[in-house]
Amino acid sequence: MSDRGEFGLPLDYLEWQQRFASEFFAGREAQPVVMFVDRDDLSRLSEPGEDPLRSLSSAVRQVVRTDGRSSMFPDIRLAESMWRSGDRSQPPPTLPVLAMSVLAASEMRRDAKGARHNYYIRLAAALLPDGSEAEVDSVRHTLREQGEFRHVAEMWRQIHQWLEDSDGAFGRSTIPESPDRSRIGYPLSQALIRRSDRAALTRFFDRLYLDHDGTPSPEALLELLKVWTRHRSRGFSDRFVEVLDEPEVQGYLCPLIHDLAVAWDGKVVTAEGLRRLELRLTLDLERGRAWWVIPSTPGMPGDIVSGTVGATSFTALLTPDRYNSMFSTEGLPAVTPESLSAGISARGEHCVAQFRPTQFFAMTDSPDAGGWTSVEAIQAYEEHVLIAAPEVRKTVEKAIKRAADPGWRRLGDRVTESMLGRGYSVYHSVVFSDPEALGQAMDTLPARLASDVHLGVTARPRFVLGLPLHRNLSPNTYMTGGEPDLELPVGAEARDVEVTLDRDRSQVFRATIFPIQFSRFGPYSFGDHTISADGEELTFVVKESSGGAYDPPGMGELSWQDGRLVPAGEAPAVCGAWTDEVEDPPVVLARRGSLESWLVDGSGRTTPLAEPQPPTHLAEFPSMYFEVRKDSGAWLLQKRTADWQAVELQPTEPAFGGLTPTDRSVWSEAVDSVTSDNAQWLSYVAAWMDASRER
């Protein structure tokens, strides 16, 4: 027998205890803990040369009796009891036993022999990997028929309680408090999501825009995940995709995935916990150049990654660029037909950058990449460049002809070959704005090609476009008339979704990449409105404006100076129609339609003034005034139907003299008619009185 250690447990057992403690709880503070274990995990946790399963089962058998006696777990229960009476600053010493119970749950689908419901035979076989059939069946009988498994269930309850009592210091429990169906629900709940599935979930969460839109309800989340994975593995294990549709595990799966979504840290990772980066193909169609770019992700430091393309190795340096959404890269391989058809994977200390080979690529214009860059999915109304591998060229071109708006072109073979090698086809100016045509074209694609053509990027219903207000303050407030569109997640096969507006108007829509324009269904009253779809209820608020007290940010921040557009802060010379030297026209406005108009100078002499033609560009409006230059005299006198009007032009001291009979007639009528206390006018009246007396 091995030496003994803490709680009187064998050292071999404690070694596995330590391995699992580190595996499950290290660095998991406040994170959901899933105690998943399968044979791959055991191999990873074992020493080189160690037989993982036999090593673990041997260690466990030192504390669990498998000799056919009715009581299997007294030793480990005693150890757990000792642990309970201590400070419980470390996990309970039952981890290898619990891991063994999860291992058995994870193996329930590995062969036909282990029927889904016969969990206990799998657990017995795991405990006795070299046991005879009779020995295995004896242990199974003890576990199930004699109810010994209840002690394992109690260990699950204990570790759940310990996690709860530790207040998240070791992570948050995802163990159900009381499984719906049976005691095996405890290990089963932990066997549903393996590491690779957990990693694939981060990509799903990324497409849920959790930061912006919040976390859907557990039930809605599961439904959305089903749409996301329908006929596309998206990196999930087959078993995971399978159990999504199994009603008996959904009670465990729903809260588990929800917990993981709530706790997600915004990082898309690989199964090893490395950040998952995408290598994207980028093309400059004008210059005939192709290269790789890697979009950076928040919080991701630089890295040195290494990989191979065919027989050639490469090492590349990735450096974050604070002014660009792409990493600055050095050393990435050239784009070759081989790299396109076989894909690239480069691994570093912090990340894995991958390019997944496909027969078909969609690209959109990316200023940060400096060209057209491959994207995950085709988007409605966006201009795309599409690339088809030689073997699907004819099919793709036929589909584009059928589905794309007129105006698309195929790039010349010479330029295409200089970028991608022989055989590829590049189509540019491709826009899809006809839902029906795109649907028909998709229906005609062969299955393999169709699986490479992804439509839409969202994994949940969400609002897009519209005319949002207060975007930095409130995520879903829109201007009246600018209500948002609803984008639905698009699965690999056609599906109809019932969409309900304000809980009382329902309509079924086909889920496509073409968003539903809800502004067409208005007018909407100001205030809250809801849209329900795919089990989610989204709310948007309609407002007339952003509010009088709100200063729209950036208003006037661009202006002209010395013929250059400059940012805010510099003294503007021109901003819109405003200039820093306001030029007030040196004119006064005179009414049109007078019987007579006369300009008068300081000597009192008059000159008839003809009304100019009205402006032609404003012919729709009444032209009430015309302009008279201020320097054209001292006064404008206008005879109207009922009276005379005197309009001052520019201040001039009166010095009457040399008046003609016409001047006298004008003055005589005007002075009798005009009523004004304007001092300048009164001085002219006095001058006229003097002049008339002198006559």
Partner 1 sequence: MSPPGWTPRVNADLLLAWMSETGSGSVRDLRQRIAWAARAADYSPKQHETGRWLRDISTLGHAEVDWDLGRWAATPSSAAVLPASGGTAVLAGSRRVGLAERLEELVSVNAMSPPVSDDAPLAMPTALFVQADSLAELRTSLEAAGVRYAGCSARSIAKKLQPIQPGASAAPPARTDAVEQLLPGSARPKFAHGLPKGDGLCRISVHGRPSYLYRWNGAWHHTDHATGILLDRANRGVDVIRFRAERTTAHGRVGVLFVDQGTPLPPLQARSLVLCSGLPTQFGNSAATAIYRNVPEDIALLVADSIHQKLHVIT
Of 87, 124, 84, 131, give the one whose Cα is nearest residue 108: 124
Contact map string, positions 129 to 148, toward partner 1, x by CB under 8 A? --------------------
Q: What angle do CA 534, 377, 540 make, to 5 degrees?
A: 40
The verdict on 695 binding partner 1 (CB under 8 A) reads no
CB neighbour class for 574 (10 Å; exposed up to 12, middle 13-18, buried from 19): middle
Least distance between partner 1 and beta carbon 365 (Å):
7
Least distance between partner 1 and beta carbon 250 (Å):
38
CB atoms near residue 567 (< 10 Å): 9
* CA distances in angstroms from 626 to 308, 596, 606, 619, 666, listed in the order given: 80, 14, 19, 14, 21
Residues with Cβ within 8 Å of 322's Cβ and at least 6 positions away in sequence, in order, are none
Q: CB nearer to partner 1: give 433 or 506.
A: 433
Q: CB nearer to partner 1: give 169 or 558.
A: 558
Q: CB nearer to partner 1: give 573 or 671.
A: 573
Least distance between partner 1 and beta carbon 498 (Å):
23
- The binder of partner 1 chosen from 338, 485, 537, 669 (CB under 8 A): 485
The verdict on 657 binding partner 1 (CB under 8 A) reads no
Residues 336-395 close enough to bind partner 1 by CB under 8 A: 365, 367, 370-372, 381, 383
Q: What is the residue whose two structure tokens read 């590995």? A: 110
DSSP structural state of residue 245: T
The verdict on 481 binding partner 1 (CB under 8 A) reads yes
Residues 247-286 close enough to bind partner 1 by CB under 8 A: 284-286
- The binder of partner 1 chosen from 337, 482, 491, 535 (CB under 8 A): 482
The verdict on 177 binding partner 1 (CB under 8 A) reads no
Least distance between partner 1 and beta carbon 601 (Å):
16
Contact 124, 108 (CB under 8 A): no
Total residues interacting with partner 1, rule: CB under 8 A: 79
Least distance between partner 1 and beta carbon 497 (Å):
21
Q: CB nearer to partner 1: give 78 or 415.
A: 415
Residues 519-558 close enough to bind partner 1 by CB under 8 A: 519-520, 544-546, 548, 550-558
Least distance between partner 1 and beta carbon 673 (Å):
19
Q: CB nearer to partner 1: give 129 or 407.
A: 407
Contact 273, 202 (CB under 8 A): no
Residues with Cβ within 8 Å of 525's Cβ and at least 6 positions away in sequence, in order, are 542
Buried b (16+ CB within 10 A) or exposed e, 480-495: beebbbbbbbbbbeee
Of 45, 53, 139, 34, give the one whose Cα is nearest residue 100: 53
Of 366, 367, 339, 365, give the one whose Cα is nearest residue 353: 339
Least distance between partner 1 and beta carbon 513 (Å):
14
Q: Nearest 5°: phi and psi at 528?
A: -80, 140
Least distance between partner 1 and beta carbon 308 (Å):
29
Q: CB nearer to partner 1: give 82 or 587.
A: 587
Contact 340, 417 (CB under 8 A): no
Contact 498, 537 (CB under 8 A): no
Q: CB nearer to partner 1: give 8 or 576.
A: 576
Residues 286-315 close enough to bind partner 1 by CB under 8 A: 286-288
Contact 106, 36 (CB under 8 A): yes
Least distance between partner 1 and beta carbon 631 (Å):
10
- 218: number of CA atoms within 13 Å, CB side? 11
Using DSSP bridges, classify how beta strands 527-533 and 558-561 pair: parallel, antiparallel or unpaired. unpaired
Contact region for partner 1 (CB under 8 A) — 155-163, 335-343, 461-469, 505-513?
Answer: 461-469
Q: Rounded distance, CA 559 to CA 428, Å?
A: 36
The verdict on 479 binding partner 1 (CB under 8 A) reads yes
Buried b (16+ CB within 10 A) or exposed e, 12-42: bbbbbbebbbebbbeebeebbbbbbbbeebb
Q: CB nearer to partner 1: give 210 or 574.
A: 574
Residues 581-640 close enough to bind partner 1 by CB under 8 A: 581-585, 587-589, 592, 612-618, 620-621, 623-629, 632
Least distance between partner 1 and beta carbon 378 (Å):
16
Contact 218, 262 (CB under 8 A): no
Q: CB nearer to partner 1: give 317 or 415.
A: 415
Q: Rounded distance, CA 213 to CA 181, Å?
A: 34
In this structure, which amino acid lies at residue 331?
A: G
Residues 197-236 close enough to bind partner 1 by CB under 8 A: none
Least distance between partner 1 and beta carbon 325 (Å):
13
Least distance between partner 1 and beta carbon 594 (Å):
14
Contact region for partner 1 (CB under 8 A) — 75-83, 86-94, 319-327, 480-488?
Answer: 480-488
Q: CB nearer to partner 1: give 198 or 384.
A: 384
Q: CB nearer to partner 1: give 400 or 628.
A: 628
Q: What is the residue whose two structure tokens read 């979504």? A: 261
Contact map string, positions 10 to 49, toward partner 1, x by CB under 8 A? ----------------------------------------
Q: Rounded distance, CA 489 to CA 538, Å?
A: 14
Least distance between partner 1 and beta carbon 17 (Å):
55
Contact map string, positions 428 to 447, toward partner 1, x by CB under 8 A? ---x-x--------------
- The binder of partner 1 chosen from 466, 602, 604, 654 (CB under 8 A): 466
Q: Is 7 helix (H, G, I), strand (E, B) or coil?
A: helix
Query: Which residues on adjacent β-strands are paired with residue 466?
Result: none
Buried b (16+ CB within 10 A) or exposed e, 148-176: bbebbbebbbbbbbbbeebebebbbbbbb
Least distance between partner 1 and beta carbon 613 (Å):
4
Measured over the CA atoms of residue 331, residue 332, residue 337 and residue 341, the dihedral's sign is: positive
Of 396, 391, 398, give the one whose Cα is nearest residue 362: 396
Q: CB nearer to partner 1: give 555 or 642.
A: 555
Least distance between partner 1 and beta carbon 573 (Å):
6
Q: CB nearer to partner 1: give 314 or 560.
A: 560
Least distance between partner 1 and beta carbon 318 (Å):
20
Residues 560-579 close enough to bind partner 1 by CB under 8 A: 560, 562-563, 565, 573-579
Of 249, 142, 240, give the one whose Cα is nearest residue 200: 240
Q: CB nearer to partner 1: give 247 or 406.
A: 406
* Cis peptide, bond prior to residue 320, ω within 30 of zero: no
The verdict on 465 binding partner 1 (CB under 8 A) reads yes
Contact 426, 416 (CB under 8 A): yes
The verdict on 334 binding partner 1 (CB under 8 A) reads no
